[in-house]
Structure 1
Amino acid sequence: MLSISTIFFQFCPYFRRYPQPNFGIFNLYQQHPMSDLSYISLRGNRAYNTVVRPDFELYFEASKNIYHPVDNPHGTFPLNVADNNLNWSILSKKLQHISATQKIPHWVSGYTSGRGHETFRAALAEFVGNFLANRPLDPENIGVAAGATAVIELSAIILADKGDVAVFPAPAYPVYSRDIMNKAGVERYDLITHHDSDAIHHGPILSIEHLEKAKQDIEYQGSNFKLLVVTNPDNPTGGLYTAEQLETIADWCIERKIHFIVNEIYGLVTINTKHPSIVTDYAHQHQFTSFLSIIHQKNSPYLHQWYALSKDIGISGMRVGTVYSLNQPFLSAFNNLSLPHMVSNHTQWLLENVLGDQKFMRNFLDAQQQALTKGYIVVVEMLKKLNIPFVPSYGSLFVWADFSKFLKTETLTGEMEFWENLYKNTGVLLTPGIGFGHTKKGMFRIVYTCFDDGSLLVAMARIADYLSSLSKS
């Protein structure tokens, strides 16, 4: 008797074109000839049995067979990891020019401050101040570490104790759970503010009532509400918190001695919401407002900002994350703990020169918004044709879309089954809703910044063809 997988391979019109995905990765406890866990510590056991995210291994598998219109027309589209490749060709030329024409300073070969070299922090302060905050920033309030993940982990270790709770308005980036838990031992609490995505079409709806209810719930369970983290622009919805929202929440947190952190990692990748193709999707033309001005206005040790160059500049692999805070004991502790998380001095020197070229950065960021908007339009126009609800994005690298009507059952099993089958049949890999902490099943994140417009059209057409076949079956 033929197995189901064999029958699937023989008769599925799309799946035969793609290498068989290794869905065995979802067994988190795979055994290996050398998998005797007695050889490692209890911490090592926990790490062995804790995957970073459920779609990561499949992402690397799909990345070995990337679509190319000529060389690999039946290749895959990993649209699940938030990489921004839109203008790497521009940036890479700039980096190569710096390397070829400028002398590497002596400090690059030695040790430097655990918070980042002083000249790099000065360049960061000027760049972020000019382009994100619209106000002067003091380099002495900046801490630098190897990527946003390192900054988040260090912040959790310093600002909270093991067993304390960090609150995230849902849906929220799944890997926050690992970043705050793996070493710091801080618990994640997903704060539900809505169920259906139409409730947040005009932006996040986090209110003081939501926060009070979460605080009561956490304290009832005998825990301590220690951190509140929001991402602005939001991941995965692309929504924007208004300045009024942020200030109201900041006052609430300061009064209750809760650390309020705003992650602005997507602060400079915003959509041109006035573009004729999408302008009618927005009832309000919100503009991004950085939390940095509120930090200085309130002058409180309970307010902090996270940032990184990963998304805005498109250099996730260069690992540069930052924290900005007026809390000097926090920054001193950051310096003392950051040795395993320091950014390469050579990377700091290279980027110091890039960020310091204000004219280049202005042109680069303008090109980023143009390319970002074009890719976003490709995705949402197809979603509209397919009558798939989505949250109109103001910024970030993705669209949060509702595929729930295509699930056999509105359960986690139904969601994962649809996700797997979509990839098997189309080669298009989305971010599944699992891990975002939300109640609605069938929500998926579509990253549109890894391919050009022509390739995105192919990916979306494959999704459309597959969904059409489901409707006919």
Structure 2
Amino acid sequence: MGFSSPNSQLLSKIATNELHGENSPYFHGWKAYDNDPFHPIQNPNGVIQMGLAENMLSFDLIEDWIKKNPRASICTSEGLNKFRDIAIFQDYHGLSEFRNAVAKFMGRVRGDRVKFDPARIVMGGGATGANELITFCLADPGDAFLVPSPYYPAFGRDLRWRTGVQLFPVMCNSKNDFQITVEALEEAYEKAKQSNIKVKGLIIANPSNPLGTVLDREALKTLVSFINEKNIHLVCDEIYAATVFSAAPNFISVAEIIQEMDCNRDLIHIVYSMSKDMGLPGFRVGIVYSYNDAVVNCGRKMSSFGLVSSQTQHLLASMLDDEEFVEMFLRESAKRLSDRHKFFTMGLEQVGISCLKSNAGLFVWMDLRSMLIEQTVEAELELWKIIINQVKLNVSPGSSFQCVEPGWFRVCFANMDDATVEIALKRIQMLAGQGKEKEVAVKNKPWRKNLRLSFPARIYDESSVMSPRLMSPHSPIPHSPLVRART
């Protein structure tokens, strides 16, 4: 007696569909790193992880604070007296001291130019959970959100996979440094309408992932005017707000903009987290801040599926309430990010590699268009395979970010120590040098499309990096590193 495939008979559509997005170069690069991770002694020829947008440059500051404040943790003898209060069930509204501290911190990060109401703070399991929560609140399956490209690859997972909502790219390009224009917004909106797709909102990341740029006041006002005219929602992902490392242009929150203009505040929502600004993605602290009472009420009910642990809330409430520490941390973190960004981009410039001008985020938008054999996505992916397999760096190709121009790559620089970033930089410089040599050698040759750079390191079997049949280590399973960090 034969049996049908379990995928078609016994599992849900979510369990068997491909909408999670893990079968993309963005996640396959993680697989290459996990299979052969760099270690300065044990594996010096391994893959260096430059696809993970984590801020590890200021861990020592947080560690020092924890040592000096043992009462903040219920797992110390000094803080044990709070154990029973924190260990019991907590209302899904969250600890009041936590919401108060987060609201104050959000205001501080935004230069104290705007105040946030603790009663409007809704918790989610990291920014991933917060983004999905707000999507569930605002849209039905089949509805769509406009998203300016290039945009964070895992938005497909966060916003689309379980909700059934569609993402409709707003095409931006390098002619104006990928700035969002009214014309591009209108074109995307009309295309969606012509396809009988109901547009429920516009989602932006400010500061941008992957560009590392911030939106100026006029651009934000334009976006607010656009959504107000169309009567659709605006979701501002501001999780990189405190990673701005130079004074100009400074970060401006949409919360500040709506204080300056008339608009329907029920359409305005902010996503925030502790993952990037504080470098704590493992704490899974995600925040939805909505000006819409119905969204806040619905979000509170839904947050029971992705609460932040009360132990984490208790610790962070104490830390964020320490104004002297917060001031010092934000100042020193910005300085360290600035120093690392300057060191890395100057190293690239030495070999003729430029990046989009930026002053925020944990990454650079690196321009390798001149290294492509032809200006196609296929050529970009061929170069990406060389970088992964031979140069041994996990960087993310622009096509994963829905970039319309082949040859751009996101490169993360804040998730490693100084020695490792120097090694990574030398590998990229070697790539640039060999690329120029090979370009001269194959010029005007009919076989130039088969260009491969030669490096001494072992070359992977491409199927181990690209095959969708292999289970990625970032599949949505309990032990997956994907659940530990929003990259």
Q: Same fold (TM over 0.5)?
A: yes
Q: State the match for 2:211 in structure 1.
A: 237
Paired letter, 1:294: I
Paired letter, 2:184: H
Deviates more, 1:229-238 or 1:132-141: 132-141
CA shift at 1:299, angstroms?
A: 5.9
CA–CA separation in structure 2 for the residues paired with 1:82 and 1:35 = 37
Q: State the match for 1:20 in structure 2.
A: none
CA shift at 1:150, angstroms?
A: 0.6
CA shift at 1:151, angstroms?
A: 0.7
> Among 122, 134, 137, which residue is 2:100 paired with?
122
CA shift at 1:209, angstroms?
A: 2.5
Q: State the match for 1:325 in structure 2.
A: 290
Q: State the match for 2:251 in structure 1.
A: 288
> Among 161, 167, 178, which residue is 1:182 paired with?
161
Q: State the match for 2:13 in structure 1.
A: 42
Paired letter, 1:288: F
Q: State the match for 1:349 in structure 2.
A: 314
Deviations 1:232-268 (A, max 9, x none): 1111111111122212221221232110111110000
CA–CA separation in structure 2 for the residues paired with 1:214 and 1:425 = 39
CA shift at 1:174, angstroms?
A: 1.0
1:301 counterpart SS class:
helix
Q: Percent identity?
A: 28
CA–CA separation in structure 2 for the residues paired with 1:445 and 1:360 = 32
Query: 2:122·2:303 contact (CA, 8 Å) conserved in 1?
Result: no
Change (3 A) 1:339 1:77: same
2:410 counterpart SS class:
strand
CA–CA separation in structure 1 for the residues paired with 2:103 and 2:343 = 35
CA shift at 1:462, angstroms?
A: 1.0
Q: How many residues align?
A: 424
Q: State the match for 2:184 in structure 1.
A: 210
CA shift at 1:446, angstroms?
A: 0.6
Deviates more, 1:67-76 or 1:313-322: 67-76
CA–CA separation in structure 2 for the residues paired with 1:412 and 1:209 = 25
For residues 420-459 of structure 1, the aligned pairs below 5 Å read 420-459=385-424
Q: State the match for 1:102 in structure 2.
A: 79
Change (3 A) 1:119 1:299: farther
Q: State the match for 2:57 in structure 1.
A: 86
Query: 1:227·1:261 contact (CA, 8 Å) conserved in 2?
Result: yes
- Matching of residue 145 in structure 1 with residue 124 in structure 2: yes
Change (3 A) 1:396 1:337: same
Change (3 A) 1:211 1:47: closer
1:55 counterpart SS class:
helix
CA–CA separation in structure 2 for the residues paired with 1:288 and 1:37 = 48
> Among 338, 352, 376, which residue is 1:411 paired with?
376
CA shift at 1:163, angstroms?
A: 1.0
Change (3 A) 1:431 1:138: same
CA–CA separation in structure 1 for the residues paired with 2:264 and 2:66 = 37
CA–CA separation in structure 1 for the residues paired with 2:111 and 2:195 = 38
Q: State the match for 1:10 in structure 2.
A: none
Deviates more, 1:452-461 or 1:291-300: 291-300
Deviates more, 1:231-240 or 1:204-213: 204-213
Q: State the match for 1:267 in structure 2.
A: 241
CA–CA separation in structure 2 for the residues paired with 1:111 and 1:52 = 39
CA–CA separation in structure 1 for the residues paired with 2:302 and 2:135 = 12
1:262 counterpart SS class:
strand
What TM-score comes out, normalization by structure 2 length? 0.82
1:288 counterpart SS class:
coil
CA–CA separation in structure 2 for the residues paired with 1:343 and 1:182 = 22
CA–CA separation in structure 2 for the residues paired with 1:439 and 1:142 = 36
CA–CA separation in structure 1 for the residues paired with 2:38 and 2:182 = 46
Q: State the match for 2:341 in structure 1.
A: 376
Query: 2:29·2:388 contact (CA, 8 Å) conserved in 1?
Result: no
CA shift at 1:65, angstroms?
A: 5.0
Paired letter, 1:152: N
> Among 222, 240, 244, which residue is 1:248 paired with?
222
Deviations 1:128-183 (A, max 9, x none): 11222513221011111110011110111110111111111111111112211112
Deviations 1:93-152 (A, max 9, x none): 433533333343544222323242222111101111122251322101111111001111
Paired letter, 1:143: V
Query: 1:304·1:324 contact (CA, 8 Å) conserved in 2?
Result: yes
CA–CA separation in structure 2 for the residues paired with 1:70 and 1:272 = 35
Change (3 A) 1:461 1:179: same
Deviates more, 1:380-389 or 1:56-65: 56-65
CA shift at 1:379, angstroms?
A: 1.8
Q: State the match for 1:13 in structure 2.
A: none
CA–CA separation in structure 2 for the residues paired with 1:81 and 1:361 = 25
CA shift at 1:315, angstroms?
A: 0.8
CA–CA separation in structure 1 for the residues paired with 2:91 and 2:238 = 24
- Matching of residue 388 in structure 1 with residue 353 in structure 2: yes
Paired letter, 1:348: Q
Change (3 A) 1:253 1:36: closer
What TM-score comes out, normalization by structure 1 length? 0.84
2:107 counterpart SS class:
helix
Deviations 1:8-37 (A, max 9, x none): xxxxxxxxxxxxxxxxxxxxxxxxxx9865
Q: State the match for 1:171 in structure 2.
A: 150
Deviating beyond 6 angstroms after TM superposition, the runs of 4 or more aligned structure 1 residues are none
CA shift at 1:426, angstroms?
A: 2.1
Paired letter, 1:79: M
CA–CA separation in structure 1 for the residues paired with 2:212 and 2:21 = 28
Q: CA RMSD in A?
A: 2.2
Q: Which runs of 5+ in 2 are unaligned?
A: 439-487
CA–CA separation in structure 2 for the residues paired with 1:287 and 1:310 = 20
CA–CA separation in structure 1 for the residues paired with 2:242 and 2:63 = 19
1:444 counterpart SS class:
strand
CA–CA separation in structure 1 for the residues paired with 2:135 and 2:252 = 24
CA shift at 1:407, angstroms?
A: 2.0
